[in-house]
Structure formats: C-alpha cells, structure tokens
Chains A and B, each alone.
Chain A
C-alpha cells in the first residue's frame, strides 16, 4: 500500500469529495436523459413521417374519378342469345354501347377523335354493365345513368399529376382527350367518390380497377394455415423441451439450433419450401396452403422460444403444489402450467404471426408472386398475399399504382393493428383468471 494514501479521510474531506463528484454525476445523468429524448424524438418523427407519407398517398387511393353516362341498355345487343347467361352477356356488345353513350355527350368527329374518346373510360366498363344486368335483368331495354371508372391516365390528369401545361407530345394523354374531359366536367358528369374497386377488386394491370380483395383473402388463408400448423407444434415442442426432455447433449444442440433458426433470413425458408414442398412432395405452387406451411416454418422458432420463456416463468411453487397432491406430470402441465403460460405463449404467437403477415421474400420463392386475378376460394386455390401485392404494385409503371400501393399498405397496417389488439384483449381475458 502507498504510504501517503494509507490515512483514512476525515468525514469533512470525504463529504467535500462526494459533493464535487455529485455535480459531475448529475451532469452525466442529464446528458443521458437528453440522449434518450433525442433518440425517442427521432424515432417518433420518423414514424410520423412514415404515417404522413403513407396516409397522404394512400387515403386518395381509396377514392377515384367516375364519369356518369346515360346508357340505353339494348336487349338484343347486350344479350345476343337471349338467355341472360354470363356467357351470352360476355359475347354481347356492352363495350360499344358504353362508347356510343359517351359519343352522344362529347360528339367526337372522325376516327382520330373517336380513338381518343375510347381512352376516357376504363376497359372494365362492359363488365360493370354485364354485372348490373345479371343482378337485375329488368333494366334491359331502358335508359339509365351509370357511373363508370375513368381510365387511370384520365384519373391522374384530374388529380393534377398530368399537367395541362406540359407539351402534348410529352403527355400520356393528348389535347383531344383533354378537350373531351373538359366537356364532361362542364356537364357535371365527372365525380370523385369512394372507389368501388380498391377493397373488392382483385389484381389487374389496369390500376383503376385493381383491388386488394384477392390478396387480403390470400393473406387470411395463409395466416390461418400458418397458425394451425405453427401454434400446436410450437407449444408442443416448448412443453417437451421444458418439461420432458432430458438435459443432455442432444437437447442442447436442438436448443441452439432453434435459437439460430429464429435468426435465419426468411428467404432461406422460402428456398427450403421450394426444395422440399414443391421439389420433393410436388405441391402446386402459388397456393395459400404452401405459403402457410413455409411461413409456419419461419414462425415456429419464435413461437417455441416465447412459449418456453412463458413456461419457465410459471412459478415452480405452483408445480410443486400440483405434484404435492399427486397430480401426474400431464395433469400438472395441462391444468396448471399451460393456463398460466398461455398469455405469454399467445403474445409470442401473435408476434410471429404479425411477422408472417408482413413477409414477402419466402413467398416470392414459392411463386405466390404470380399474377392471379381470381379471388382464392380455399387454401388450395392459387393466390397472393398483401405484402406481395404491395411489392408488385410498387413495381408497376402506372402513376395510379403509387396511391394504390399506399392504400394497400394502410390496409395491411390496419390488419396488423387489429391482430395486435385482438392479442392484447385475449391476453387480458386469460390473465383475469388470477
């Protein structure tokens, strides 16, 4: 020991030293607090930026422009066979009936102007008429006013994304079309209202009629499959590892591997699914069943890890109590451990499911990126999911898809919020059993 320092400090000296160090310590505390606030502020501002950007683009995506026309529904031309079958209506001449009623309003002269006029109304107009006739055949032979979605370029023009001042050669729509649109506006035939297509439509190359229903149902089906596979498997694995498995080398290796699997990039699970489910078992691609199975592989580690943590958090005294009055291992687990661990398990499961809901990469690997117009009716029908739909739309060139992409993101976020809220409510309910 150093001789100079070997003397003990007096109380006065000590308190002086303490006092001087207190100021330094307080400053440090204050600095740390400031850093924390800056970090939170940054995070919140990013979040606000994200939400403002998505909602400002996405909310308009739920609305679109329509044109109202008085259409004479000519029975012979719409329904050439006269049996009102979808096939007959499909063969009918709905498209030209719509165009004729448009021509009546805007009076195009010559072939060039007629060609320009054709660009105004969405190509889906004939389908809309067929559907109306199918729903109510009494309207045949009458003249009624119907609203049709305008073509996406016209929509963008009306929103101001395509500017009148831009030279005609650089615009996607020419002066003639603009003249017609102005005429329709002047006659009060253009309206802006909630889109008929965004929530009920399916994938389409024409943005004005593209919707997310197919992807939404695909997501639900995929998640359902994922949950049905991953939850029981995950819980069973966790119970086995926590309560039954002998503590030896093999269980240790399994444990380490499960922890590692949780960190494996999701695209790897896609490749695994491609190789095993499609390559070896020959399952059809693009179906929600396959997607759910791949996502189940991905979420299993998350569920297992959180379930094990939940089981471990059950007080040993409760297990002792059950064993003490002669409950068997199975009774102890099912009557006491699982009910107490359930809230924690559900939390982990919901986190895993939320992850699965937002997952794109592994689904691309198994072909769920295919362009599928039909809405899947079951887990074996080809389909796609919301995040993949967003990914595809973000890739398309048409201006209108930008809004549609943001709209789909909003739907995905709302879906997620609902799932999390359901999880919170469920957990609260289960926890109330003291």
Chain B
C-alpha cells in the first residue's frame, strides 16, 4: 500500500494539475532506464476512473514507454528498469507480490499495429476469458464473445463468420477485434498505443467513436500523434517531451491556453 499522506505531497516540475479526485492509477516520480539511457524522467501523474486521457508529444519523447510501464509490458525487455512507484487502486504494481498476469487482466492493451492472433475471430476474443477461466461453459463463453464484439462495434460485421481467420479482416476491423479481445477479460483500464496510426480516416473515425463509448465504463489511456484526435476524444491531455512530463490538464485548456512554452510550440506545430 502506498500511504495516503505522501500521494499528494510530491515535488514535480510538471505544469498543471497532475492529481485527480478519484485516481485509479497513481504514478509518482517514475524513472525508466533502458540500460544506461534514461527514457522517462521523474514523471508523476494520476489517472482517474472512467476518464480518457491522451499522451501526446514528439516521437521518442517516452510516451509509449511510459504507457507500457502501466501494465508492466516493459518487463519483457531485459534492459528496462523502472524506478519510482506506480499503483493501481493504491497497490504498487511493481511489488513482488503482484502477478503480472492478474495485473494485465485488469489493464488491457491495444497496440499500434493491429495484431490479431492467427486464429479465428471467435478464438481471438475467447482466448483471454479462456486462459483466465472467466467462463464455465461454452454458452458463457459465447456470451462474452458476442458482448465484446458488440461493444467493439464489430458484431454486425462478423457474426456470420466467427470461424474465419481474424487476420482476414480489414485493418480497422482487426483493430476493433483487438479492442474486443482486450475488453473480453473485463479490464478496468485500457491502454492504447497509437491505435489509429495504421488506419485510414474512416476506420479511425469508427475507433474514435468506439473509444468515446468505452470511456463511459473504462479508464482509457491513449497515446496518439494526432492532436486533433487527442482534442476530439480525451478529457485530459498530458504533453511529454524528452522523457519529461511537461504539462497536464484539461484537454480544452491544453489546446487553447497552454501554460508552458514547449507545449504551445508543439500544439501549434513548431516542434514535433
């Protein structure tokens, strides 16, 4: 447990409001190293329940790295070291007692490139519930699959071909399949790493609509290169630069009156 006293008592250079009233994830003084190189420098931020927060910033600023810290996906990289504290529901996720399997069941992830398993559409969605034992019968599993596909807006398009390969869908459909796969295990938070960067504008619009819908039930952290996208879908926006969290705040405020000069320069297209 992270004690309550020092949560809101943190020194940070970040401009804006890093705290939130109903925090789901609390990150304090997070440093990330790849070997000798420091990729994230002293980042502190709260992520609230049922909020959509977007991370923006130029390429290589560390926003994806930071995102992958939140569900410990960086564990798979041997040289990666995470310092500081990240807690989910006030429990340190880097604690030795925490099992990454249960953590990742709570924090789902959608990747930049749609990466469905080379299996059927049904198998793709059913895989998570199966390995976590979320269903006790075929009927329950069918129900989960149907619901997840409905929530991701894919059901109408694929209900007649659940047994055909997931890789045979279009790029946008594949990405929605990946979202269905993520929500099939009933997570609390969904991390999205540039989910629309490989998609055309129409597919992107569909995904954005979907994210808006999902935001009612889940906390969503989305990394994006498109500032319009961040402006369209997120309630809060965090601007990263060279591994530092420069500014956080209400999306409207960040995009209209950023306090920091760097943020302003990026928003207005002068760096990035």
Contact = CB atoms under 8 A, between A and B. Distances in A.
Given A325-B182, A434-B118, 9 more contacts: A246-B78, A315-B115, A318-B117, A321-B181, A323-B104, A324-B111, A324-B182, A325-B128, A331-B131
A323 B73 contact: yes
A340 B115 CA distance: 14
Contact of B73 (A246, A320, A327): A320
Contacts of B116: 321
Given A246-B78, A335-B127, A326 B132 contact: yes
A319 B117 CA distance: 9
Minimum-distance CB pairs A-B, first 7: A326-B104, A317-B115, A324-B109, A326-B105, A325-B128, A434-B165, A434-B118
A336 B116 CA distance: 11
12 contacts: A247-B78, A315-B115, A318-B118, A319-B76, A321-B181, A324-B109, A325-B184, A327-B101, A327-B131, A328-B131, A336-B117, A434-B119
B193 to A, nearest CB: 9
Contacts of A317: 111, 113, 115
Interface in B114-146: 115-119, 127-128, 131-132
Contacts of B181: 321, 325
B128 A321 contact: no
Interface string A300-319: 00000000000000010111
Interface residues of B, number: 32
A340 B118 contact: yes
Nearest to A317: B115
Contacts of B29: none
Given A331-B131, A434-B165, A434-B167, A325 B119 contact: no
Contact of B101 (A321, A328, A434): A328
Contacts of A434: 118-119, 165, 167-168
A342 to B, nearest CB: 12
A433 interface: yes
Interface residues of A, number: 21
B219 interface: no
Contacts of B167: 434
A325 B73 contact: no
Contact of B131 (A324, A326, A433): A326
Contacts of A326: 100-105, 128, 131-132, 185
Interface in B139-178: 165, 167-168, 178
B57 interface: no
Interface string A155-173: 0000000000000000000
Most buried by B among A246, A318, A323, A336: A323
A411 B64 CA distance: 60
A321 B165 CA distance: 16
B224 interface: no
A99 to B, nearest CB: 72
Interface in A63-89: none
Contacts of B117: 318, 321-322, 336
A324 B118 contact: no
Contacts of B54: none
A338 B256 CA distance: 51
B118 A433 contact: yes
B108 interface: yes
B71 interface: yes
A325 B127 contact: yes
A247 B113 CA distance: 28
Contacts of B110: 324
A340 B101 CA distance: 22
A51 to B, nearest CB: 40
A103 B90 CA distance: 107
Contacts of B182: 324-325
Nearest to B71: A324
Given A246-B78, A335-B127, A434-B167, A325 B118 contact: no
Given A331-B131, A434-B167, A324 B108 contact: yes
A430 B105 CA distance: 30
B165 to A, nearest CB: 4
A78 to B, nearest CB: 69
A324 B104 contact: yes
B55 to A, nearest CB: 17
Interface string B203-217: 000000000000000
Contacts of A323: 73, 76, 104
A319 B185 CA distance: 17
Contacts of B118: 318, 340, 433-434
Contacts of B102: 326
Nearest to B102: A326
Contacts of A247: 78
B185 A325 contact: yes
A323 B127 CA distance: 12
A247 B35 CA distance: 13
A319 B75 CA distance: 13
Contacts of B168: 434
Contacts of B128: 325-326
Contacts of A328: 101, 131
